[in-house]
Structure 1
């Protein structure tokens, strides 16, 4: 069978063939494979350039394939793809594959679904994902019936559409012909009547015979008429005359106030007379005038010779713009539009200027946000957890100093680093800010604290630091947590007495030299070498190659005076593993010490306040006492002393204190999210994109997703037991899967590390499952301490949202079958429903973050006034 025949066989719809004719014409029954042993898989998406031949080649390695059918792509989609410059060949939308064995079909679906197709990297579908599902209890004949039904439905729909289009076309053509005939008759009769009138003959046909006939009348609004019976304009005469600088009125007297509006055209003056304005008694003390008067007054000062601003000022003084901002009824809106139309007739620039001032003028909409149903302070206490007074003390501390760049915008003071400064300026101001905080007791007793309360205070202040500037928080974290933490936890009393006090006072400025160019997180593989010289009682530190240079070390480029060096310790030719040493890299004058080279890592996209650098050591000698010796020590004669004999356990004990740095990085992400959510919530509460929705508050949050609730499903998903069970099920099942995969790899002779690496995808899913479940249980523990009431109700709603959003976003629930495909859409609808329930509490929840206004930005408040040219900036 040729290639062409094969294509016809596999791409044409499957047909039932129970009998075949022999060459002599006799009918024999075809020998069939037992149907019950066959299995059918459905491929819901076929990648571009994948056809039946390639699909058979890929899947046949798992087992024998009986038949394949791929559905050709729709013609419209194919044309759109070709017009867009995409793949121009035949593409397929879905397909079915029949394996000769049911077990093979099941195995293929379970193994390939959701996995990358792979193959050669140059393959056009290398990065595509398999979408394969085993069709249980489905035979190939069932697929045939389904395809035939689809064809029949499609043809029936097409026939109905064609029939409707034909009827519409015929009706249109009939009406066109009728219209032409009537028009011809009417034209002919008009000519005949005209001839008869000219000749004096009385026509037998009435003149209105061919006038439009009234078939049906609808009641209309009666036009308003004055006493003379004339129709009144939609606006009264006095309103239209309010800006009658536009109507052509001959003026023989004075040419208007200050010649603002009057022009001489052809010996005639066109203007509004002063008397038309003098009779007005509009009060000028209305509240809506305040914003506009201030804005116009400021512009009039800066545009002394601008005639347009003088005209606006004149109209404003005479009450033309009364109630333009506060008017709510239809009459006020009509008055405003009428006056603006008149301005447009006279001068477009004047009308545009007025429209910008009044129609685009910012004023806070009346929010429909109700009063908070819970105590915001109690919610903040639950969120922050501890040390609320210390947090508020820190906020007040940095508001007192100008080195934190306070800027006054729109009557409010905001704190934000000046990112327009150069790299050197940002580094210098970051150093000054650290010195300011240290002088005012921000880091008091940090290196020497031991109790949990002191540690919580430190973490609380670091949380607040993340809100203001990440460069500042990172530079302080390197000094106090990494450098100071290493001395505190890796060393003994001899180091504490010498270094901790100077560390607290920022006399010694430390950095942390662990990362190397060739070794980042692989600490055991670092290449820096330290050899003990027993003759002098010193350690000699060397950088043996370029990949061993200490890289991206925070604080090393400009300010650090000392560093903690991680290197391989060599004693009598034996490598004892990675150890930490104190080394001085700059003297009291800030000059780099001998045998040390330091280079700047340069400009970064963000965090330019941190002076990251690179360090090379060339036979740098440090005293024996500079070895951090909480776990190991070296005697003067070069003996290696340690109580932990196992190298793995010794290494773990050595690095365990460093995990606190990872915790603070996670906390910084949480507080960055708090700031962004606070800005978002406050901004959308005052941002009105369309005037008809004024007063709704967070308008677009109401209509972001359509809600079609399902009462039974909704009540099920709101149960606390359901939320807990689905998380625990995912974690337990993933743990069992991961353990089984690792055990299987180890049974094949592979190491545990290799087995973990090989199953990194399961490990990632398991890690997220554990974190999500831990967060949920932490939430439950905090919620248990709250008594019944509004606060507990809001907490339950927030917890429910967290669970449902996790179900919606994590594909593992569908990938491993914890959530059925049909339920995914129901979860999404429930998310939308609970979003609408949570919306009234949005601003209250944001307020409970405890973020002072100064740590946000003007966009969260009166952003128009803050960006006005008259806004004071310091």
Structure 2
């Protein structure tokens, strides 16, 4: 089967845009940056950023009335596709047009849009997104930088070292302005975190008075991004610098907001900025696809050891152990791709509304948090697996995997630390669980309690119905297994917290002592969403051959995930010991069936060949010169 049949399914709703961006990337000069100095890499990336600014991609996410494309989902897809190339360029583009420009668009009002957006889109105004502080990374609500209203303006101030803005992209070299997140204070009262447009450099590129800029220096990866640190010493900005969609300050200092609650206003503001988190998840997936393409192509030609009855050495991918390394990782990458596609579509629909639905916004934030966490953790693990699968060759910079490993490592902790994000997912689920529980009537409540009791009594028995060998390959059984696990883990966490929360219990200690359970809830919920997204994509597939192949890949993802969590399924009686053993055998069987299609599956990613120019893929397949060794053996005899 031709890879293009699978590519068509992968490209989905934004197929035309994906093709366009891939064609543009194919024309971009690319070189591995591992041997560049920090300054050389930054210069190269900034030049490429200017070239990118001349295309339509950076404009996609902005409103048409300001020269944008009005395609929010398309902007995410474009950044995701940039992940096939130099990830420093992708990150720098994301800072400029996703974070900096996105904050101005989503938190500002018409005057900010008219004044700044055109210059942001064409890169006349390079900017920064200054949220993270040295002492407060994930805890944005308690940032220490202050913006105090005074004399019809605001004074931006860093009160101490831990309030320094840290790790800010574009700050060390190129940024001229920053969207600074600070505690708004007016009339002696704090109104919570708000965003302000603050100039940081003059026309000559020097820091403005009161602005201190230092360079974060060399990092493990992404050295084409100029991360820096910002401090403000009573820097005055006009009242109009406040990005005031959710909070306004009048000339006399009176504060007004369409959202009365400070807490709700904060989370509403932050919720509008999830586009960056969604983009990181997508670009992480692109990096995993690139690594897997290199590793699978290498394994499909590299030979090692010969069969006893054959002088010709065995191709690496014919070994079961090698299949078990690469093919489940490939299946998971496919699964996360379709989950990302669904997430992007949901973001596009919601942020395209004039007044987004608050419940749907919370659901989107939860899904984005879970997918971002699983995608970036998977990318880190998959690239390491690919490096090992390529042996010592994978450790050479010329084979690209070490650069991918270094550049993606930070993805697990930026745009939200993954551990914190899974807790966010679990808290949302607990809120929904409590709400649904409280809304039950008397009869329904009695039924609910009875079901919980039955669930506890039968926990030691197989509860997934079928116990035949074919069940493991049945999609409805797989979905039931994931759904059952999620429901059980969530209800178990709710019971655990309820038991611990009685009397004079400290709420922090109660939640802290259950964090292992909380994180499991976030993970199993997201894994269920991922499987459902993959299953739905297979169901929509019109090409019969493509559908059959993707159905098998989906089964490998499902069975591999069950195998990875087999202890839970056995301990909770969802599988008998015999069926548990069969799960591992099913992974092996699916790997064998997919092995002939491995090259098709990676080629279907349609990554421009210039980004796959690893030295090991340029060499002849039999580069060990098997014939030479055979001749030597014959001569010796």
Give the TM-score taking structure 1 as reference length: 0.52
Q: Where do 1:352-371 residues align within 5 Å?
A: none
Q: Corresponding residue for 1:733?
A: 488
- 2:233 and 2:467 map into 1 onto residues whose CA distance is 73
Q: Which of 85, 94, 98 pairs up with 1:481? A: 98
Residues 498 and 820 (structure 1), Cα distance of their counterparts in 2 relative to 1, 3 Å cut: same
In the alignment, which residue of structure 2 is the partner of 1:525? 142
* Structure 1 residues 469 and 867: CA distance shift in structure 2, 3 A: farther
2:246 aligned residue: 631
Which residue matches 1:586?
201
The partner residue of 1:843 within 582, 588, 599 is 599
1:861 corresponds in structure 2 to 617
Counterpart for residue 776 of structure 1: 531
8 Å CA contact 1:447, 1:503 repeated in 2: no
Query: Higher helix proportion, which one?
Result: 2
Within 5 Å, give how 1:290-439 maps onto structure 2.
372=1, 375-401=2-28, 404=29, 415-439=30-54
- Distance in 2 of aligned mates of 1:825 and 1:611: 51
Q: Is the 8 Å Cα contact of residues 683 and 859 (structure 1) preserved in structure 2?
A: no
Cα deviation 1:517-559 (Å, max 9, x = unaligned): 11011011111111101xx311001111111111111111111
Structure 2 residue aligned with 1:657: 272
748-757 or 597-606, which deviates more: 748-757
Partner of 1:387: helix, strand, or coil? helix
The corresponding residue for 1:799 is: 554
- Number of the residue aligned with 1:700: 318
Residue 668 of structure 1, aligned match among 277, 280, 283: 283
8 Å Cα contact 1:555/1:612 also seen in 2:
yes
- Whether contact under 8 Å (2:302, 2:622) holds in the other structure is no
Deviation per residue, 1:479-515 (Å, 9 max, x gap)? 1111111111101101000010000010011101111
State yes or no: 1:761 paired with 2:516.
Answer: yes
Cα displacement string for residues 556-585 of structure 1 (whole angstroms, at most 9, x for unaligned residues): 111100001111111111111111111000
Closer, same or farther in 2 for the Cα pair 1:549/1:674, shift >3 Å? same
Q: CA deviation at 1:858?
A: 3.1
Following superposition, the deviation at residue 752 of structure 1 comes to 5.3
**Matching residue within 540, 559, 564 for 2:155:** 540
Quick one: structure 1 residues 866 and 470, their matched pair in 2 at CA, closer, same or farther if it must change by over 3 Å?
Answer: farther
Matched, 1:509 2:126: yes
Alpha-carbon spacing, 1:819–1:763, altered in 2? closer, same or farther (3 Å): farther
CA distance change for structure 1 residues 750 and 624 in 2, over 3 Å: closer, same or farther? farther
Deviates more, 1:484-493 or 1:747-756: 747-756
Which structure 2 residue ranges, 5 or more long, are not aligned?
A: 325-465, 625-637
Contact 2:132 2:166 survives alignment (8 Å): yes
Cα distance per residue 1:256-287 (max 9 Å; x no partner): xxxxxxxxxxxxxxxxxxxxxxxxxxxxxxxx
* Change over 3 Å in CA distance of 1:455–1:695 after alignment to 2: farther
Structure 1 residues 690, 506: closer, same or farther in 2, change over 3 A?
A: same
Deviation at 1:394, TM superposition (A): 2.6
TM-score of the superposition, structure 2-length normalised?
Answer: 0.71
Equivalent position to 2:112, from 467, 492, 495: 495
- 1:718 partnered with 2:462: no
Quote the Cα distance in structure 1 between the aligned partners of 2:159 and 2:196: 17
Instruction: Please give the residue correspondences for 1:136-147 in structure 2 after superposition, counting only pairs within 5 Å.
Output: none
Structure 2 Cα separation of the partners of residues 492 and 470 of structure 1: 32
1:81-114 Cα offsets, whole Å, 9 max, x none, are xxxxxxxxxxxxxxxxxxxxxxxxxxxxxxxxxx
Shift of 1:595: 0.8
Distance 1:591 1:610, change over 3 A: same
Displacement of 1:449 after TM fit?
5.2
Q: Give the deviation of 1:695 after TM superposition.
A: 9.0
The correspondence for 1:472, drawn from 73, 89, 94, is 89
Partners of 1:483 and 1:564 within 8 A in 2: yes
Report the Cα distance in structure 1 between the residues aligned to 2:589 and 2:95, rounded to whole angstroms: 45
- TM superposition shift of 1:601: 0.7
Q: Confirm or deny: 8 A CA contact 2:147 2:156 kept in the other structure.
A: yes
If you compute each CA radius of gyration, which structure gives the higher value, 1 or 2?
1
Task: Return the structure number with greater relative CO, CA threshold 8 A, min gap 6.
Answer: 2
Q: Is the 8 A contact 1:682 1:843 kept in 2?
A: yes
Residue 169 of structure 2 is matched in structure 1 by 554
CA distance in 1, matches of 2:506, 2:141: 18
TM-fit CA distance, 1:705: 8.3
Q: Superposed, which structure 2 residues align to 1:682-693 within 5 Å?
A: 682-690=297-305, 692=310
Aligned counterparts of 1:560 and 1:637: Cα–Cα separation in 2: 32
- Matches of 1:700 and 1:840, distance apart in 2: 9
Q: Please provide the CA RMSD for this pair.
A: 2.6
8 A Cα contact 1:445 1:504, kept in partner:
no
Q: Would the alpha carbon gap of residues 449 and 732 (structure 1) be closer, same or farther in structure 2, given more than 3 Å must change?
A: farther
Give distance in 2, aligned partners of 1:497 and 1:504. 12
Give the conservation status (yes or no) of the 8 Å contact 1:682–1:860. no
1:431: Cα distance to partner?
Answer: 0.5
- Tell me, in whole angstroms, the C-alpha distance in 1 between the residues paired with 2:157 and 2:478: 56
Residue 829 and residue 424 in structure 1: after superposition, are their counterparts in 2 closer, same or farther (change >3 A)? Answer: same
* Aligned residue number for residue 25 of structure 1: none
Q: Secondary structure at the match of 1:604?
A: coil
State the 1:594 CA deviation. 0.4
Q: Secondary structure at the match of 2:98?
A: helix
- Correspondence for 1:748 among 503, 514, 526: 503
Alignment CA distance shift 1:733-1:512 (3 Å): same
Q: In 2, Cα distance between the equivalents of 1:852 and 1:602?
A: 31
User: Partner of 1:468: helix, strand, or coil?
Assistant: coil
Deviation at 1:464, TM superposition (A): 1.6
The alpha carbon displacement at 1:795 in A equals 1.7
Q: Contact (CA 8 Å) 1:490, 1:631: kept in 2 or not? A: yes
Q: Residue 852 of structure 1 corresponds to which residue in structure 2? A: 608
Once the two structures are superposed, residues 141-191 of structure 1 have per-residue CA deviations (whole angstroms, 9 ceiling, x without a partner) of: xxxxxxxxxxxxxxxxxxxxxxxxxxxxxxxxxxxxxxxxxxxxxxxxxxx
- Per the TM alignment, residue 622 of structure 1 is displaced from its structure 2 partner at its CA by 0.3
SS of 1:679's equivalent in the other structure is helix
